[in-house]
Structure formats: C-alpha cells, structure tokens
C-alpha cells in the first residue's frame, strides 16, 4: 500500500496535512511488519480489558444489561440507541482535546476533529432545515443556559410554562441556576382541558414584558402553536426559545410542526426521540444571534467539546435519514395513542384526553394515589416509568399526583401496538387495585411480573 493509492478520501483530494499523516502512518506500519513487533507489548495499557482490569465495574454493567432486558422502559426521556451509536460512543476521539471551534482550535492536531464537527453540523442543519447549528453542548441544561446568558442580563425577566405543570427545571425553576440568575414568571394550562391557554400567555407576557419567552415540551402531550407564540413575543419585542428535546424526532420527520421559522433559537437534546447519545444541539436561522450563543457556550460555559460524543451524534443524525426512522416515529405516536385509549377505557384520567406525541400523562388525583407509591409498585413488577407534577398538585415534587409515560424506548425495542395495549392493561390493573385496596396483592404482582418477563423475552436487547 502506498500514499499514492490513498490520495483521496471519498473521492476528494487530501490536504497536505492529511497526506503527511498518512505517510507517517504507513511508515509505522511498515516498520512494525519488518520487526514483527507486538504494539501491546510495548504499550501494555493498550491491551488492558475491563474484564482483567476492573471486574467490579464490569459486573455492574452486566447487571444493568440484565435489568434492561427483563423490564419494560416507559420512561419518557429515555430511548434505546442503535448498535452503531453504541459502538461509536467510545472511540479514539476520547483521546483528543479539540477546545474551540472549527478553524480556531486551541490545540494542534485537530484536522479530523474539524472534519467530524463539520459533518455533524451539516447533518443537523439538513434535518432541522436551519441555517446554523452548534453540536457541542454537553447537555440540555447547558444548551439552554448558553441561550439565556447570550440574550439576557442578570435579573432580566423570563416567561415559561410553570414547573408545576411539568416543565423542565433549567427553564425557570428557583432550584435551578436559571431561576437564580433571572426573574422567572410562568404561565399555566387550562385546568379543564390541560392545554396551553394562549390568552393567559398573552396576559402574562403583556403584564411582565419579558426579554425571553421559553416554550418547552417536557410534559406537554399536545401540538404547540409556534406561530401564536411568535405573535405574542413580537408584541413585547421578546426573544423566543423553543426547547424541542422530547419531540425533535417527530419534527424532523414532519409528524409535528417545526418551530424553526418562528423561534429565534431552538434547542434539543439528542438522546430522547432522536435516538442518540446524551447531549444537546443549538439551532437558529439568525446568524448574529447564533454567534452570540456559540460564544457563550464556549468559553463561558464549557471547555473542550466531547468529540467522541459528537461522533455518536453524527451517527444518530445519519440514522434519522434512513427510511425506517419515520416508520419508527409514526409507531411511537400510534403506540402512545393506543395506550391513552386503553387507559380511558379503564376509566383512568388521561391529561388532555389523549396525546399527539409519545407522551401519555395520567392524573392520579381521582384515584387517590401518589406517583411515588405507584412507581414503586410498578418497579416491583419490572415496569419503569416516571412520577410527575400535575396542575393543582397538592403533593410534593418528590411524591406527585401524576404519572408520565413515554413510548420511545419500547418502540425501539420492537414492541407493537398490541403489546402496548397489554402493558397499558397491566398498569391500569395495578392502579385500580391500588385505588381499591391501598396496596397491590402478591398475586397481581406475581402475574404482572410474569407477563412482563414473557413480553420482554420476545424483544431482547442485543448489542
């Protein structure tokens, strides 16, 4: 093999730097072949495996695999990533410090880091149909904090959905740094319908004239009118941020309206309906504003980007373009609708009387049950889901009067509509017996666990 045989990558000419790197690589390979040197004998750390190095951590990982395989995951903010994303999540870029942005790194040797980030940005822009994308945020909190710090000064007013109606902590909560830095004003939902009341939003915005309005989707199962929020924001000259972390997968497939043409900035995590690694994206069509946000993300909030995670983001975004992804998203929504209907048939109160996305929100107040109690019962039956705050909740945030279910993870696993209906029946039986007896019987727990194990066994998680 010679350098002349690899002078192009993807049929594009190599740069001089890449050529030199290939030359050095080929020299090393040639020397290794001549002396028949085992590289791992020279550098023992290269042959250290988890099995021989840290059996304790390995056993914890093995136990987690068993737990995930034998249980059903209805946690709305979780998903099941593909084998490809799993494989690339730990890669050679873990060794590379690429602090800064493309073309302006603070460390040398970032030619391929630049290429990787360029590819990931391009995929994000094409999927979300936006002009600008930052793929470096470590998490949902940091992507939103970057927007706030770029657009606001300390003490400025933010308007967002009340945390008591299930909104994200980083949007306004006093226990989060966002609520400490800025003055937080909230809007609620219509207590009768459970949906956003745009008249209330307008009244709150006109009264407080915020610098930023945040529209989130953390516990909102219905379609959001982005255009209506834009009209409200324009009335007071406010910036508008949409956090689409839960519904990004629906948006990129056209199954849910996109906010990109109405909002100044759009943020999303990559690990929920995008089926990628934990991390975030910042999207915008406004170049000047986007540059301000990027300048805050680095260096004010984050240091070097996690290039290994960005590689996993790139693969996940690539998978979104595959034909099967839209079919999967459509199934996610259909499965959520099927569960909602099943609960309603069992006379269990579903918030907003249904869903438009992957979320099913159950009001436990009419059953006289607490979310913490119910999730404990379900956990004993190998069904995992979240307790959640709800409108007019009289219980604490650690107890709650609500359950939040999501269908992403189990749909990724392969469960069909009929399977979700069975799972809804299992959950409903536990709720109804809990209402009547204040506890679930050993016989119900045993029979439910058996059904879960049979269903989980039909759809093993295999990497």
Residue written as token pair 């799993």 = 86
**CA 337 from centre of chain:** 21
Contacts of 372 (CB under 8 A, 6+ apart): 387, 398, 399, 400
Q: Into how many domains does the chain fold?
A: 2
pLDDT digits (tens, 9 = 90+) for 379-402: 999 999 999 888 777 888 888 889
Same domain for 294 and 411, yes or no, is no
Task: Identify whether 386 is part of a domain.
Answer: yes
Query: For residue 68, what pLDDT band results from cuts at 50, 70 and 90?
Result: very high
Task: Identify whether 179 is part of a domain.
Answer: yes
- Rounded Cα distance between 342 and 336, Å, is 10
Same domain for 305 and 336, yes or no, is no
Buried residues in 418-428 as b, exposed as e (16+ CB within 10 A):
ebbbbbbbbbb
Same domain for 103 and 152, yes or no, is yes
Q: At what angle do helices 287-295 and 140-151 cross, to 10 degrees?
A: 110
Same domain for 164 and 118, yes or no, is yes
Mapped to the 3 state alphabet, what secondary structure does 36-103 carry?
Answer: CCCHHHHCHHHHCCHHHHCHHHHHHHHHHHHHHHHCEECCCCCCCCCHHHHHHHCCHHHHCCCCCCCC
Domain boundary among 302, 320, 338: 320
CATH of the domain at 115: 3.40.640.10
Query: For residue 297, what pLDDT band results from cuts at 50, 70 and 90?
Result: very high
Same domain for 330 and 266, yes or no, is no
Same domain for 220 and 291, yes or no, is yes
Of the candidates 248, 294, 293, the one whose C-alpha atom is nearest the C-alpha of residue 274 is 248
Task: Identify whether 44 is part of a domain.
Answer: no
Q: What is the pLDDT of residue 165?
A: 60
Task: Identify whether 133 is part of a domain.
Answer: yes
Domain boundary among 282, 302, 320: 320
Domain boundary among 320, 340, 367: 320
Same domain for 312 and 245, yes or no, is yes
Task: Identify whether 408 is part of a domain.
Answer: yes
Same domain for 380 and 393, yes or no, is yes
- Rounded Cα distance between 286 and 265, Å, is 8
**Structure-token pair, residue 22:** 């290939």
pLDDT digits (tens, 9 = 90+) for 356-372: 999 999 999 999 999 99
Same domain for 328 and 451, yes or no, is yes
Of the candidates 347, 343, 363, 312, the one whose C-alpha atom is nearest the C-alpha of residue 425 is 343
Range of the domain at 376: 324-458
Q: What is the pLDDT of residue 36?
A: 55
Q: Kindly report the pTM of this predicted structure.
A: 0.89
- Rounded Cα distance between 120 and 52, Å, is 35
Same domain for 233 and 250, yes or no, is yes
Same domain for 316 and 380, yes or no, is no
Task: Identify whether 306 is part of a domain.
Answer: yes
Does residue 11 register a pLDDT over 50? no
**Structure-token pair, residue 124:** 């994000």
Task: Identify whether 185 is part of a domain.
Answer: yes
Same domain for 126 and 204, yes or no, is yes
CATH of the domain at 375: 3.90.1150.10
Helix (H) or strand (E) holding 234: helix 226-235
Task: Identify whether 64 is part of a domain.
Answer: no
């Amino acid at each position: 093999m010679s350098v002349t045989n690899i002078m192009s990558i993807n049929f594009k000419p190599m740069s001089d730097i890449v050529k030199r790197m290939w030359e050095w690589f080929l020299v090393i390979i040639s020397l290794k072949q001549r002396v028949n040197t085992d590289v791992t004998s020279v550098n023992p750390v290269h042959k250290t495996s988890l099995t021989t190095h840290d059996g304790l951590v390995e056993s914890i990982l093995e136990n987690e695999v068993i737990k995930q395989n034998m249980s059903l995951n209805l946690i709305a903010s979780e998903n099941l990533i593909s084998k490809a994303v799993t494989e690339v999540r730990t890669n050679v870029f873990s060794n590379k410090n690429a602090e800064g942005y493309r073309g302006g790194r603070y460390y040398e040797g970032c030619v391929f880091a630049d290429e990787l980030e360029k590819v990931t940005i391009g995929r994000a822009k094409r999927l979300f149909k936006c002009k600008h994308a930052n793929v470096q945020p470590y998490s949902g909190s940091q992507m939103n904090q970057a927007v706030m710090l770029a657009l606001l000064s300390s003490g400025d007013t933010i308007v967002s959905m009340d945390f008591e109606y299930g909104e994200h902590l980083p949007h306004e909560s006093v226990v989060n740094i966002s609520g400490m830095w800025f003055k937080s004003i909230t809007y609620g939902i219509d207590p009768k319908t459970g949906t956003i009341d745009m008249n209330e939003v307008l009244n709150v915005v006109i009264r407080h004239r915020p610098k930023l309005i945040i529209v989130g989707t953390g516990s909102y199962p219905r379609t959001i009118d982005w255009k209506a929020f834009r009209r409200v924001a324009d009335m007071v000259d406010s910036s508008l941020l949409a956090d689409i972390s839960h519904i990004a997968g629906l948006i990129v497939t056209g199954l849910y309206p996109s906010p990109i043409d109405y909002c100044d900035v759009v943020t999303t995590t990559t690990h929920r309906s995008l089926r990628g690694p934990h991390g975030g994206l910042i999207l915008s069509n406004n170049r000047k504003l986007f540059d301000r946000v990027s300048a805050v993300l680095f260096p004010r909030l984050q240091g070097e980007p996690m290039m290994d995670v960005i590689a996993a983001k790139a693969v996940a975004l690539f998978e979104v373009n595959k034909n099967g992804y839209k079919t999967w998203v459509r199934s996610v929504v259909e499965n959520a609708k099927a569960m909602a209907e099943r609960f309603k048939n069992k006379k269990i109160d579903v918030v907003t009387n249904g869903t438009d996305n992957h979320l099913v929100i159950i009001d436990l107040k009419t059953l006289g049950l607490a979310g913490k109690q119910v999730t404990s019962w379900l956990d004993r039956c190998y069904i995992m889901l979240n307790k959640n705050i709800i409108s007019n909740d009289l219980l604490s945030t650690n107890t709650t009067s609500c359950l939040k279910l999501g269908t992403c993870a189990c749909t990724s696993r392969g469960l069909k509509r009929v399977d979700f209906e069975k799972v809804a029946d299992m959950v409903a039986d536990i709720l109804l017996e809990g209402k009547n007896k204040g506890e679930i019987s050993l016989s119900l727990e045993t029979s439910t666990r058996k059904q879960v194990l049979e269903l989980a066994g039909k759809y093993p998680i295999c990497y």
